[in-house]
A and B are shown apart, each in its own frame.
Chain A
């Protein structure tokens, strides 16, 4: 397409029509990939061509405006180019304005950061358009701070809006910030609240980053808001949006300055190096002088035992209890906390006598001094106590989960400990362990029943091996030693008490209300316990109870909770044997299947949809498996 240059008065509305029609039919890419670079070049210095370009875009009929404008926004290499190409079409044309300020920012979220940069930069470059920029910011903030938007919109959209807000903030100038300071503050406070309330860490982090950025913009001299969150690539990328890099023409001067300062720095460094070198030779000379005239007739003794003094940890469990409950001696307390887990595991009988007491102490144990890894040490000690004496301690912990006056942290701690202990109990002990213990201990020992049965077999085998002559040995296969599933007898004690009281609110603890974070964790814990209960006796009863529980909570608004519920279903399908599923739980399964179908289609959260699809696939596999088994 070539244009007629010269002083001719020509009408280009025909060209606009063509352009519009082509774009709306989906050929944006082809035509604009040729047109935009061409226009960029010729409009660089030539005003007339700029005006022609603006007329071109303005004359596109409204019904095709969106396609054209969007195409330009996407193709333009930078905001200033876009400004040259589009001019003030957003101000003059209502449809263009709608597309740029509303549609792209609030209704769509598929565009890249570069597109956002282009668009918002374009808005900021002209005084006429800046008013639109502020309006855009206000609308973005309204969406960002609305709690229903935070709860129901997908995380990708929320990220998109956050990016847009950050870019807007980076373009705002001081007087503009001044004028809308109050609004910014109000929306920041509201927005932060609903973001922090969310269960998904990504949403929380987005809220924190945006709030920090807004706070730094409006409080340039006072204390700014500062949150603690994990810094990773995403966070860094978001924060980098807040700073606008200066356009390229400024850049060439900077490297010169940098080189100069770098050059100045280097001689200083080498000077200081030289100085330290001259200082060093002085010392060794003195030393060697002193060495020469010493009468070294005093021979030192062996001092290898001279090490740092360490307080000894107690050796008995009851001593540990004493130290942890009463003792003021901080060193001893620290040593006890570090040694507790191994003591508990080495003395199972002694632990069983005091297991309830230990569990209580550990649940309430607070950090007295700053030990490294206190949380981990405490958790491992709790897990050790729970695995040594599962039934009473599980009863205690599950009852405490629903008691008054515990912090959220402690309740979540209980859930974590139950899961870790269940994992340990359900995992088969590898053969290496038992052989090892046999070899080390002397003859007098209390062996559990299963070990002694293996013992005699081994001895007999050895004897046979020595006495027989082998002509050829077949391929040796390592057989994994089997041991009874210790989780089987206690799975019920872990699982059912947790499900029992979830709908009974207490004064400080309301699972179905405010404490949906704990509810989410509880649901995930139940899913894991269900999964670990495979091959146990109670698994069918557990599965049925769990499906009922899921059914009651299936419309929960929090996406973390829903993810947990869907993993529960997957666990049930995996753990409960197929026959039991079909016999006892047919209605529940059918209802669940229809619900899963619903979730796959309509749930806003991507993870939920994925999990629902997974469960549906598991159900399909189940059906197929049953069909192939001859009945």
Chain B
């Protein structure tokens, strides 16, 4: 007899607006407090203390415009937040400071979340949607120099880039970018040449979110339709569809694979969070807590496997924290 799905471990309230972005930073040693960063529609980035379950700091850097992405750059003292005021802000949060040290003006009015990749100590690559409609720009941080601009071929009609993922097979190898576009295709870009290595039409509708497992060379993408698409990358750097999975209700806003590559979570427009096994995409659980669209899901980076958490932010202003499948 299958057990009923678990309840959230706790729920964070107090953002006052729909939650669009989440990022954990729990890798520190004691007495470092595990922290969750959340970006909301009112332009605030809240820093939640996961021990007290209260907001420690609220960062207001985007002038009331929605924050769509939050990432940490090496620890929780350096934060990157992307807002719909066309700015990406770099924050210095060490020792209780809350100041914006730098900002990048993206000139992009879309919803595409940027992607960060640490290529060397202190050097980051950031991919973001650029000013022109179909282009993706890759910058190096913190120098803010442009590495390349990825333009699709003329007449490709890919539409806006919807989601990005920078990855490299291991430290030192070439970084590559996977981009999901408005027309439903996923493109693999080579950053050094600026050319597309492979393009795959995964969906009929825009790709809302994607995630990639570089070890298995397998990725998954979700769209506004009822289908999840799993694709793989072969030795010739070609993308092929591996499998599709049909969902009960249409619409996925976010997908994320847990760092141990065992399970993945999807955030659905039908207010539910679904957990699947990554190996064969076996449905494991449907977590039904929220009363509005779930915008984002994120897994924590706790060192101790038993402490691992899953966070989901929703339009109903709440962040639910779950502890699920922590035994494996």
8 Å CB interface, B275-289 against A: 277, 279-280, 282-286, 288
CA distance A308 to B262 in the complex (A): 27
B50-76 residues with Cβ-Cβ distance < 8 A to A are none
Q: A305-B288, A309-B249, A309-B271 are in contact. Are A298 and B283 (CB under 8 A)?
A: no
Q: B328 touching A298 by the CB < 8 A rule?
A: yes
In the complex, which residues of chain A have a beta carbon less than 8 angstroms from the beta carbon of B16?
none
Q: Which of A290-333 contact B (CB under 8 A)?
A: 290, 294-309
In whole angstroms, what is the CA distance A623 to B279 when docked? 90
A306 touches B282 (CB 8 A): no
CB-based contact A300/B288 at 8 Å: no
Taking a contact as CB atoms under 8 Å apart, the answer to whether B5 and A303 are in contact is yes
Chain A, range 275-300, C-beta contacts under 8 Å to B: 290, 294-300
CA distance A203 to B283 in the complex (A): 61
Instruction: Tell me if B2 is interfacial: C-beta within 8 Å of chain A.
Output: yes
B2 and A302 form a contact (CB under 8 A): yes
In the complex the two chains form, is B285's CB within 8 Å of A303's CB? yes
Given the interface contacts A298-B262, A300-B2, A301-B285, does A309 sit within 8 Å of B280 by beta carbon?
A: no
Q: Which residues of B contact A295 (CB under 8 A)?
A: 279
Residues of B within 8 A of A296 (CB): 282
B284 touching A298, Cβ below 8 Å? yes
Q: How far is the CA of A303 from the CA of B288 in the complex (A)?
A: 10
The CA of A404 and the CA of B277, in the complex, are separated in Å by 66
Once bound together, how far apart are the Cα atoms of A294 and B284, in whole Å?
A: 15
Contact residues of B between 78 and 128, Cβ < 8 Å to A: none
CB distance from B165 to the nearest CB of A (A): 24
CB distance from B226 to the nearest CB of A (A): 10
Please state if B284 and A301 are interface contacts (CB–CB under 8 Å).
yes
Nearest Cβ distance between residue A420 and chain B, in whole angstroms? Answer: 38
CB neighbours (8 Å) of B272 from chain A are 306
Query: Contact: B248 with A300, CB < 8 Å?
Result: no
The residue in A290, A295, A309 that gathers the most chain B C-beta atoms within 10 A of its C-beta is: A309
**B283: which A residues are within 8 A, CB to CB?**
300, 303
How far, in Å, is B297 (CB) from chain A's closest CB? 17
Assembled-state Cα–Cα distance A294/B325 (Å): 17
Instruction: Say if the beta carbon of B3 comes within 8 Å of chain A.
Output: yes
Report whether B2 and A308 are in contact in the complex, using a CB–CB cutoff of 8 Å.
no
Q: What's the minimum C-beta distance from B314 to chain A, rounded to whole angstroms?
A: 14
B205 within 8 A of A: no
A interface footprint on B242-253 (CB within 8 Å = 1, 0 otherwise): 000000110000
Contact A297 B5 (CB under 8 A): no
How far is B286's CA from A299's CA once the two chains are assembled, in angstroms? 13
Known A-B contacts A301-B4, A301-B285, A302-B4; A294 and B248 likewise in contact (beta carbons under 8 Å): no
Q: Shortest distance in angstroms between A599's beta carbon and chain B's nearest beta carbon?
A: 63
Q: Are B3 and A302 in contact (CB under 8 A)?
A: yes
Partner of B248, one of A301, A302, A308: A308
**Contact residues in B for A301 (Cβ distance below 8 Å):** 2-6, 284-286
Q: Give Cα A296–Cα B286 distance, bound, in whole angstroms.
A: 18
Q: How far is the CB of B186 from chain A (nearest CB, A)?
A: 23
Task: Name which residue of chain A comes closest to B269, CB basis.
Answer: A309
Nearest A residue (CB) for B2? A302
| Interface bracket on B | 20 to 34
Inter-subunit contact A305/B286 (CB<8 Å): yes
Contact check, B270 vs A309: say whether CB atoms are below 8 A apart: yes
A222–B187 Cα distance when bound, in Å, is 48
Which residues of B1-39 are within 8 A (CB) of A? 1-6
Q: How far is the CA of A305 from the CA of B271 in the complex (A)?
A: 13
Shortest Cβ distance from A412 into chain B, in angstroms?
Answer: 40
Q: Is B227 an interface residue (CB 8 A)?
A: no
Residues in chain A near residue B286, CB distance under 8 A: 301, 303, 305-306
A307 to chain B, nearest CB (A): 7
Residues in B neighbouring A294, C-beta threshold 8 A:
279-280
Q: Which residues of A contact B150 (CB under 8 A)?
A: none
A287 CB to nearest chain B CB (Å): 10
Closest-by-CB residue of B relative to A306 is B286
Q: How far is the CA of A527 from the CA of B109 in the complex (A)?
A: 68
Residues of chain B contacted by A303 (CB below 8 angstroms): 2, 5, 283, 285-286
CB of B263 within 8 A of chain A?
Answer: yes
**Interface contact B284-A300, CB-CB below 8 Å:** yes
A304 cross-chain contacts in B, Cβ below 8 A: 2
Query: By the criterion CB–CB under 8 Å, are A297 and B328 in contact?
Result: yes
Q: Give A299 to B327 CA distance when docked, in angstroms.
A: 11
Would you call B5 and A298 a contact (CB within 8 A)? Answer: no
Q: What chain A residues lie within 8 Å of B280 (beta carbons)?
A: 290, 294
Contacts of A297 in B (CB 8 A): 328
Closest-by-CB residue of A relative to B280 is: A294
Instruction: Decide: A307 and B248 in contact? CB cutoff 8 A.
Output: yes
**Nearest-CB distance from B47 to chain A (Å)?**
32
Contacting residues, chain A, for B325 (C-beta < 8 A): 298
Instruction: With CB as the reference atom, state the residue of chain B lying closest to A293.
Output: B279
Min C-beta distance of B277 to chain A, whole Å: 5
Chain B neighbourhood of A302, CB < 8 A: 1-5
Q: How far is the CA of A301 from the CA of B288 in the complex (A)?
A: 12
Greatest chain B CB density within 10 A among A294, A295, A299, A303 is at A303
A300 pairs with B279, CB closer than 8 A: no
CA distance in complex: A308, B247 (Å):
10
Q: Least Cβ distance of A304 to chain B in Å? A: 8
B282-A298 in contact (CB<8A): yes
Most buried by B among A290, A302, A308: A302
Q: How far is the CB of B169 from chain A (nearest CB, A)?
A: 23
Residues of A within 8 A of B5 (CB): 301-303
Q: A124 CA to B271 CA in the complex, in Å?
A: 74
CB distance from B273 to the nearest CB of A (A): 11
Contact residues in A for B3 (Cβ distance below 8 Å): 301-302
Nearest residue, chain B, Cβ from A287: B280
The distance in angstroms between the C-alpha atoms of A304 and B288, with both chains bound, is: 12
Task: Specify which chain A residues have a CB less than 8 angstroms from the CB of B262 in the assembled complex.
Answer: 298
* B263 contact set on A, CB distance < 8 A: 298
- Bound complex: CA of A201 vs CA of B51, how far in Å? 78
What CA separation (Å) do A306 and B5 show in the bound complex?
Answer: 11
Beyond the given pairs A298-B284, A300-B2, A307-B248, 11 more chain A to chain B contacts, judged by CB atoms under 8 angstroms and listed by A's residue number, are A296-B282, A298-B262, A298-B282, A299-B2, A301-B3, A301-B284, A301-B286, A302-B1, A302-B3, A304-B2, A309-B271
What are 29 A-B residue pairs whose CB atoms fall within 8 Å in the complex?
Answer: A290-B280, A294-B280, A297-B328, A298-B262, A298-B263, A298-B277, A298-B282, A298-B284, A298-B325, A298-B328, A299-B2, A299-B284, A300-B282, A300-B283, A300-B285, A301-B5, A301-B6, A302-B2, A302-B3, A302-B4, A302-B5, A303-B283, A306-B248, A306-B288, A307-B248, A308-B248, A308-B249, A309-B249, A309-B271
> Interface on A for B, CB 8 Å cutoff?
290, 294-309
